[in-house]
Structure 1
Amino acid sequence: MPQRRIVIHPSRRLLELYEGNQRIRHYPIAVGKSLTPTPPGSYSIATKTMYPGGVFGSRWMGLSIPHYGIHGTNNPSSIGQAVSKGCIRMHNHHVEELFLLVEIGISVTIL
């Protein structure tokens, strides 16, 4: 079975999920504001939490860099903006779908 991986394009406000070389999903996202940018680099999904509460919406997927993650939101109008403290923010219905499609350990590349 081909390996799944996530590629995040902060400048395009886009998260892509690949299986092998084929893009199987893509979602609009919000990213870090200029003072707290989303950190470029190669990471992995380290934790997965359902219903973390508050600003994290319905799902949290913590990255291997502490204090950063891919999560839902309680402010859907922020998607498409550079407004977060560095995390990748998604619509709750999108993060719930992605949560089911990825495992702990999957590669996350932030360009």
Structure 2
Amino acid sequence: MIFDSIRSKSSYTIRINTSSRILTLYKSGIPIKKYGVAVGKPSTPTPKGKFYIINKIINPGGPFGARWLGLNIRGYGIHGTNNPSSIGKSISNGCIRMFNRDVIELSKMVPIGTPVDII
């Protein structure tokens, strides 16, 4: 499958801990950066599991801030926010929110196919 070959070329992985609200970026298995994030509220929790980035959108508009990194679970992604005070809280509809400066930085580093482990 083409997607598997794209995925295998990424030396980056992302782990999102919904309890601590921390996204950790790894390169070749070594943590290189940590970001505070917002996660889903109790009524719309962030899904847990192993996913992959399937698309990247610059300036998606609306509440999605400066970047969108879509996951291979319909309707969910890692994105910026037009509400920076939400970072560090359980407040989203299930997506992972980041400060716009952080999601821009992350988006520049990780390719489509990057594994995302949400715990």
Q: TM-score, normalised by structure 2?
A: 0.91
- Match of 1:46, SS state, is strand
Written as runs of structure 1 = structure 2, the 5 A alignment for 1:58-77 is 58-77=66-85
Q: Which is higher, the Rg of structure 1 or of structure 2?
A: 2
Aligned equivalents of 2:11, 2:78: Cα separation in 1 = 19
Aligned to 1:101: 109
Aligned equivalents of 1:16, 1:37: Cα separation in 2 = 19
Aligned equivalents of 2:104, 2:73: Cα separation in 1 = 21
Q: Are 1:12 and 2:20 matched, yes or no?
A: yes
| CA displacement 1:73-108 (0-9 Å, x = unmatched) | 000000000000000000000000000000000100
Q: Are 1:24 and 2:17 matched, yes or no?
A: no
The unaligned stretches of length 5 or more in structure 2 are 1-8
Aligned equivalents of 1:106, 1:2: Cα separation in 2 = 6
Aligned equivalents of 1:3, 1:107: Cα separation in 2 = 9
Written as runs of structure 1 = structure 2, the 5 A alignment for 1:52-91 is 52-91=60-99
Q: CA RMSD in A?
A: 1.2
The unaligned stretches of length 5 or more in structure 1 are none
Aligned to 1:44: 52
Percent identical among aligned pairs is 52
Aligned to 1:92: 100
Aligned equivalents of 1:14, 1:55: Cα separation in 2 = 20
Deviation at 1:21, TM superposition (A): 2.0
- Match of 2:19, SS state, is helix
